[in-house]
Amino acid sequence: MIKAIVTDIEGTTSSISFVKEVLFPYAQTHIAEFVRQHQDEAQVKTLLQDVRDTVAAQLTLDQVIAQLLTWIDEDKKVTPLKALQGLIWEEGYHLGAFVGHIYPDVIDNLRAWKASGIDLYVYSSGSVHAQKLLFGHTGHGDLTPLFSGYFDTRIGAKQESVAYSQIAGQIGSSPTNILFLSDIKAELDAARSAGFQTLWLIREGLIDPSAEHRQVADFDQIGDLNG
């Protein structure tokens, strides 16, 4: 019996190209100016300190910015970078520079699952703030009322099973009653190790019926979860 669904974003609810060709370049373009402008504000100050704590205490502001740009290039899921990206994307959403991409098959299925009593959660490397912005500013309106909670790297890395145990604890459900959706096998392996049920989204490419996790091309193929 599925009582809760936890979904990944990039490659699962939303296209990889939206994240890699729209969101990441926007952060890349604006991060230096954003950091310089907001460096004395408490939230940004703490995040810049987190970068120094991760790399080296004596980094100058220019060196911190250079490190952040390197992490963006390398798609590193480092918590202070992900938090800063969220703050920068907030400006982008509010200026109308982009809207959050959601695959059309996602919306009706999320609504149907929620209507059937299944609680919906998000787990992404993007910060919780960035997740709420994306689902709050989609081409299909504000989808945040569908979700009961959000998790990011502050609860743990997505390829570590302990993160999923923590999530199950916070949801307050047995892991066996939680379904995790992702496009990344290592994340699905970690979730399964924690006892979750899993589904592998293959948005582009061929479905392999013999794969270790059941593969689907989109949310429509998932079908009736508790039927």
Find out whether 14 and 20 touch, Cβ atoms under 8 Å: no
Q: Give me the amino acid identity at 210.
A: S
CA-wise closest residue to 84 among 126, 138, 141: 126
Indicate whether 152 belongs to the interface with Mg ion (CB under 5 A): no
Q: Which is nearer to ligand L4RZE5RM, 62 or 75 (CB)?
A: 75
Which residues are CB-neighbours of 51 under 8 A, at least 6 positions away? Answer: 59, 64, 67, 68, 78, 80, 81
Candidates 10, 19, 81, 110: give the one binding Mg ion (CB under 5 A). Answer: 10
Amino acid at 66: A
Least separation in angstroms between residue 186's CB and Mg ion is: 10
Q: Which of residues 102 and 171 has its CB atom nearest to ligand L4RZE5RM in the complex?
A: 102
Q: What's the CA gap between 184 and 167, in Å, rounded? A: 18
| Under 8 Å between Cβ of 146 and 192 | no
Applying CB under 5 A, among 109, 138, 183, 213 the residue interacting with Mg ion is 183
Residue 106 interacting partner from ligand L4RZE5RM, Mg ion, none (CB closer than 5 to 8 Å by kind): none
By beta-carbon proximity to ligand L4RZE5RM, the closer residue of 113 and 180 is: 180
- Interface residues toward ligand L4RZE5RM, by CB under 6 A: 8-10, 19, 23, 77, 82, 124-126, 130-131, 134, 158
